[in-house]
Homo-oligomer: A and B are copies of this chain.
Amino acid sequence: MTTMPITQAGLLPTLPGSAYTDPATFRREQERIFETRWICAVRAGDLLTPGSFRTVTVGRENVLITRARDGALRAFLNVCRHRGARLCTEESGQVRRNLRCPYHAWTYGLDGRLVAAPNLRDVPGVDRADYGLIGVALREWLGYAWVCLADTPPSFEETVIGSVTARLGDADAVERYRPADLVLGRRIDYEVRANWKLIVENFMECYHCASIHPELVQVLPEFAGGYAAQSYVGHGAEFSGDAEGFTVDGQAGFGRLPGLAEEQDRRYFATTVRPQVFLNLVPDHVILHRMFPLAPDLTRVECDWLYAADVIDSGADISASVELFHRVNEQDFAACERTQPAMHSRAYGTGGVLVPTEHHITEFHHWVTSLLH
């Protein structure tokens, strides 16, 4: 087992309670974090055919993601340029050729161009090219569409791919799971009554594992010690000798994904892609969480369980596999929800403390604070 990292002595401070409750702070986070960074929005595989679309909340905007005729994914603000009606009100759907606003029939191509508008042809001095949908930057990676609302997005390579590489120690490590080729086995939506930062902090540390995750510690006994797999580079938590697979009862999973390195077998790797993705890698599947902050005390978390296509095609029973991390999710979110109300207390006015095994959370706090100021 990897040598434990050297941690700083004493207890470091957390953020003050108001950082988790103040509406003005939350607005600034939306504006300066969620509306400027790359956000993992939708699974590409959910948009298979041209004309299929998804709508997703990014920061305070509703973003429409479609697959165009050329097969590429495109993202737009979900707002008609005429009088502001929402083009698509459903979370997902399929159009035939165009996106037609139901209010006054302004009609846009799947590439966002305004292709028709009643009576507009005859109006002098109007160029339809000025009234296309407002585009949003989009990148595909790991089988997901990532979007960025900034006019000048930060480097995807540095801020997204680089953060995964830094944690896993190797740019190839995540690619060996071939996440883009995996198939969605199960998706669960959670509505968590807690600030998004409490959820990130929870995911980053394992000091709570012994208290609230008995099933997880059964499979990953080193988690009982309180050190998160995330806290040192390249380390994956080793499966218990009793566990045949990463399942709720230790039963066997579905075989190692092709292409995995030997040192990736029987190990659990996890990393956070700030601000809103948690990535969990085990030999036979990948679990990816996307977080969407909705209010200072409300966050939606969408969790995907991804498997090899042949596992899903064969109709294999994935329930013991899904159930393990679903329980972890429910245990974590309950902990976050019991923490949120105390953020208002004078007892948390200057915040709490981090024990040494949680000290890497400080770097997350610095990152948030630096973006807000």
Contact = CB atoms under 8 A, between A and B. Distances in A.
Given A210-B105, A345-B79, A85 B339 contact: yes
Nearest to A120: B355
A212 interface: yes
B338 A86 contact: yes
A146 to B, nearest CB: 19
A344 to B, nearest CB: 6
Contact of A352 (B83, B89, B124, B357): B83
Nearest to A35: B346
Contacts of A210: 105, 118
Contacts of A103: 208, 211-212, 335, 338-339
A353 interface: yes
Interface residues of A, number: 59
A102 B338 CA distance: 9
Contact of A342 (B78, B212, B342): B78
Interface in A115-172: 117-120, 123-126, 131, 134, 149
A79 B344 CA distance: 10
Interface string A70-97: 0000000111111111100100000000
B338 A9 contact: no
Given A84-B17, A103-B211, A208-B103, A342 B62 contact: yes
A253 interface: no
Given A78-B342, A85-B338, 13 more contacts: A9-B124, A10-B124, A14-B84, A17-B84, A78-B345, A80-B352, A81-B353, A83-B201, A84-B343, A103-B211, A118-B210, A123-B356, A134-B347
12 contacts: A11-B123, A11-B126, A61-B346, A77-B346, A78-B342, A79-B347, A81-B353, A83-B352, A84-B343, A104-B211, A117-B355, A123-B355
